[in-house]
Amino acid sequence: MSAGVGTLGNVFGFLPGLPGPDDLRTLARKVDTARHRGVPAGCVLELDLHTAPAETAGFDPLTVLSAGGRPLTLRETVAALHRAAEDDRVAGLIARVQIPHAPPGPVQELREAVAAFTAVKPSLAWAETYPGTLSYYLASAFGEVWLQPSGHVGLVGFATSALFLRDALDKLGLQPEFVARGEYKSAANRFTESGYTEAHREADTRLVQSLYEQVRAAVAAARKLDPDTVDALADRAPLLRDDAVAAGLVDRIGFRDEAYARIAELVGAPVPSRDVDTHPDAPPRLYVSRYVRATTPRPGPRLPGRRGEPAVAVVTVHGPIVNGRGGPSPLSLGRSAAGGDTIAAALREAAADDDIAAIVLRVDSPGGSVTASETIWREVVRARERKPVVASMGAVAASGGYYVSMAANEIVANPGTITGSIGVVTGKFVARELKGRLGIGSGTVRTNPNADVWSADEPFTEAQRAHVEAEADLCYTDFVERVAAGRGLAVADVEAVARGRIWTGADAAERGLVDHLGGLRAAVARAKVLAGLDPDAKVRLAGYPSSSLLELLRPKPSSQPAAASLPDALAALAVRSVGGALAEAERTLTGVQALWPGIVRF
C-alpha cells in the first residue's frame, strides 16, 4: 500500500502546480484574442513614428530586413486608425511621435486620422523630444502630449534653403546651358544662378508662409491657444520642458513607463508605472502593424457570372515620371520611378474593369519626362470617358505630377501638398573646358549638323538653341492650354498662376488648380459620389499597378491583360536590370540625373 502511495506521489510530482489567478487571466486573454481574430478586447494600439509612413512599400528586401518586416504605408496606417476608431475592441492609442523630417502633406493625412480617433477615444503622444515643427504638429492632434524631461518642443516654424553651384561650376570649367519656360521654374537655378532670383525667392517665401499658417491654425485649435500666442512661442522655440508646459503645448513631463501607465488609466485599467509592462491588469497592447494585418478586409473569391462588390481603383504614380516601365532602380531598390507605360496600362485596365466604379489617381511625384507625363495624361482623358477619375495629391504633385492630374474630373490635395510648377526646363552641361584642364581629348564625327546636339563637348549653336527654345515653347503652350481645358479656366487665368510657380495645396485651391482639400480618404469619397454611390458606402479599394515580387517576375507580354511565361519574365527582368544599371551609372557620373540632357523635363 505504501509503495502504491509512493508511486502516485511520483506521478503528481511531474504535474505542474494548479493555475493561479494570473495564469487564468492570461489564458482568458488568449482565448479572447483568438475569438476576436487576433485583436484582444480593450486593447491599446501602439504606433512608433520615428519616420512618417511611406506612400508605397514596393518590393525592397533591404528595408524588410532592416525594419523586421514590411513597413506600413501611409494608406494602411490612415485606414487602420479610422477602423480602430469604430472598433469596440480598441480602447485607446499611444504613439511615440519623433519625426525629424517629413513632407507636410502625408503628415496632414496622418494627423487627420489621429484627430478622428481622438474625437471618440483616448489617445496620447509621447517623445524623448519633438525635433521639429511637423513632429509637434502631429503630436498636437492627440488627446494628451507628453515630453521626456530633457527633451524640447521644436515648434520653430519653417525654412527652406537653396544650393547654387554656378560659381563652382565656372571654376570647374562646366558650362550649364538650360532653357526654362516660366520665370518661377527654378529647377535649373542651382546650376545657372549664384543666388536667389526675385521670382524664386517670392515663390519659396510664400510656400513656407502658407505651411506655417496651416500649422499655426491647427496647433492653436488643438491646444486651445490664440494664433498670436502660437506665433510668440514659435519665435522662442525650441522650448524646454517648463516653458512648454506653462505655454500649454505639453500636458505632462514623464518617461515612457509613466506615459503607458497614463494611457492605461485613460482607458479604465489603471496600473502602477513600475508594472506597466507586466501587470496582469494592464490593458493588452497591439502594434498598429499587427492590427492592420488582423483587420484589413480581404476580398473573397469571385463567383463566375456574379459581379463583385463595387470597387474604386487607386492607381499610384510614385516617384519621378520616366519613359517606359519605370519601377524600382536596380542599384537602389528603395527608390522607384513611375513609368509612363506602366501607369498608362494600369489606367486602361481599371477603366475596362466593370467592377471598378471610379478611379482615384494617387500622385506623389515631382514630375519628369514630358512625353511620359503626356502618355499618362492621355489615358486619364480616355478613362474619364468611361468612369469618374479623381486625382489625389500626396506629398508632391508638381510639374509632371500636376500634368498627369489636370484632366481628372476633380483634384483633391492636402493643404500642404506641393503642387503647380506649370513650366518646362531642359538643357545640358558643356564640359569642354573641364576636359581640357584634365588633359582629356575628344572629337566628334557626324553625318548631320544636329547629330551631336546634346554632346557635352560643344555648346548649342544658334540654330540648335533656337530649336531647343521652340520645343520648350511648344511643351509649355500645350501644358497651359491643357490645364485650361481640364480645369475649365481661361488660358489667361492659367498663365497668371503658371510660369513654373509652385504652390501649396491650400493656395492652389484658391487659384482654381485644386477642387477640394483632403487626403486619399477624401478623394475616394468624392470618387464614390461622382460614380453615383453614397459617400459612406463600403467599397473595395483595388490597387494599381502591382509592386509585388510576383509582378516583377511576371510582366505582361502585351498591352492587353495576359500572363507572361516565367522564362520570358526572367529574361525581361535581367535585360531591364542590366540596362537600367548601365543607364543609372552613366547618369550618376554626370551629376545631373534630374535634368538628363536631351529629355525635356517638367
Mean pLDDT for 485-502 is 97
Residue 298 pLDDT class (50, 70, 90 cuts): confident
Asked if pLDDT for residue 585 goes beyond 90, the answer is: no
The torsion defined by the Cα of 62, 63, 64 and 68, in degrees rounded to 10, comes to 120
Maximum mean pLDDT: which of 65-74, 91-100, 271-280: 91-100
Asked if pLDDT for residue 31 goes beyond 70, the answer is: no
- The rounded distance, in Å, linking the Cα atoms of 125 and 118 is 11
Comparing 325 with 546, the larger pLDDT belongs to 325
According to the model, what pLDDT value does residue 57 have?
75
- The rounded distance, in Å, linking the Cα atoms of 487 and 420 is 13
| 8 Å CB contact between 240 and 246 | no
Question: How, if at all, do strands 389-398 and 356-365 pair?
Answer: parallel
Helix (H) or strand (E) run with residue 334 in it: strand 332-339
Longest dimension (CA), the chain: 117
Question: How deeply is 190 buried, as exposed, middle or buried, from its count of CB atoms within 10 A (0-12, 13-18, 19+)?
Answer: middle
- The rounded distance, in Å, linking the Cα atoms of 161 and 175 is 23
Residue 114 pLDDT class (50, 70, 90 cuts): very high
Q: Within its chain, how far is the Cα of 472 from the centroid?
A: 30
Asked if pLDDT for residue 224 goes beyond 50, the answer is: yes
Question: How, if at all, do strands 152-153 and 239-240 pair?
Answer: antiparallel
- The rounded distance, in Å, linking the Cα atoms of 309 and 166 is 58
Three-state SS at 135:
helix
Mean pLDDT for 434-449 is 92
Range in 72-76, 235-239, 399-403, 591-595 with the lowest mean pLDDT: 591-595
Which pLDDT tens digit goes with each residue over 174-221?
A: 999 999 999 999 999 999 999 999 999 999 999 999 999 999 999 999
Q: How far is CA 487 from CA 134, 303, 499, in A?
A: 32, 41, 17
According to the model, what pLDDT value does residue 336 have?
81
Three-state SS at 184:
coil
Residue 571 pLDDT class (50, 70, 90 cuts): very low
Mean pLDDT for 544-556 is 63
In the structure grid, which three cell numbers stand for residue 442, read together?
575628344
Beta strand ranges found along 136-284 (DSSP E): 144-147, 152-153, 175-181, 239-240, 252-253
| 8 Å CB contact between 220 and 229 | yes
Asked if pLDDT for residue 601 goes beyond 60, the answer is: no
Question: How, if at all, do strands 311-318 and 175-181 pair?
Answer: unpaired
| 8 Å CB contact between 332 and 63 | no
**Residue with C-alpha cell 473569391?**
301
Concatenated DSSP letters for 201-216? HHHHHHHHHHHHHHHH
Asked if pLDDT for residue 136 goes beyond 90, the answer is: yes
Residue 586 pLDDT class (50, 70, 90 cuts): very low
Maximum mean pLDDT: which of 9-18, 383-392, 538-547: 383-392
Mean pLDDT for 5-9 is 47
Asked if pLDDT for residue 23 goes beyond 60, the answer is: no
According to the model, what pLDDT value does residue 592 have?
29
C-alpha neighbours within 13 Å on the C-beta side of residue 411: 33
Domains of the chain, first to last: 34-156+237-295 (3.90.226.10), 311-440+454-595 (3.90.226.10)
Characterise 421 by phi-psi region: left (phi > 0), alpha (psi -120 to 50), beta (else).
left
According to the model, what pLDDT value does residue 5 have?
46
Mean pLDDT for 590-594 is 30
Question: How deeply is 194 buried, as exposed, middle or buried, from its count of CB atoms within 10 A (0-12, 13-18, 19+)?
Answer: exposed
| 8 Å CB contact between 394 and 413 | no
Comparing 41 with 554, the larger pLDDT belongs to 41
Mean pLDDT for 53-63 is 70
According to the model, what pLDDT value does residue 556 have?
63
According to the model, what pLDDT value does residue 348 have?
97
Residue 553 pLDDT class (50, 70, 90 cuts): low
According to the model, what pLDDT value does residue 296 have?
84
Which residue in 74, 522, 518, 77 sits closest to 312, CA to CA? Answer: 522
- The rounded distance, in Å, linking the Cα atoms of 511 and 493 is 9
C-alpha neighbours within 13 Å on the C-beta side of residue 380: 32
Residue 579 pLDDT class (50, 70, 90 cuts): very low
Asked if pLDDT for residue 30 goes beyond 70, the answer is: no
Residue 575 pLDDT class (50, 70, 90 cuts): very low
- In the chain, pLDDT over 70 holds for what percent of residues? 79
According to the model, what pLDDT value does residue 577 have?
43
Which residue in 407, 394, 346, 360 sits closest to 526, CA to CA? Answer: 360
Single-letter code of the amino acid located at 222: A
Residue 225 pLDDT class (50, 70, 90 cuts): very high
According to the model, what pLDDT value does residue 272 have?
87
| Average confidence score pLDDT of the chain | 86
Comparing 273 with 485, the larger pLDDT belongs to 485
According to the model, what pLDDT value does residue 308 have?
66
Asked if pLDDT for residue 330 goes beyond 90, the answer is: no
Beta strand ranges found along 340-469 (DSSP E): 356-365, 389-398, 410-413, 418-420, 424-430
According to the model, what pLDDT value does residue 475 have?
95
Mean pLDDT for 32-39 is 59
- The rounded distance, in Å, linking the Cα atoms of 146 and 253 is 6
Mean pLDDT for 120-135 is 98
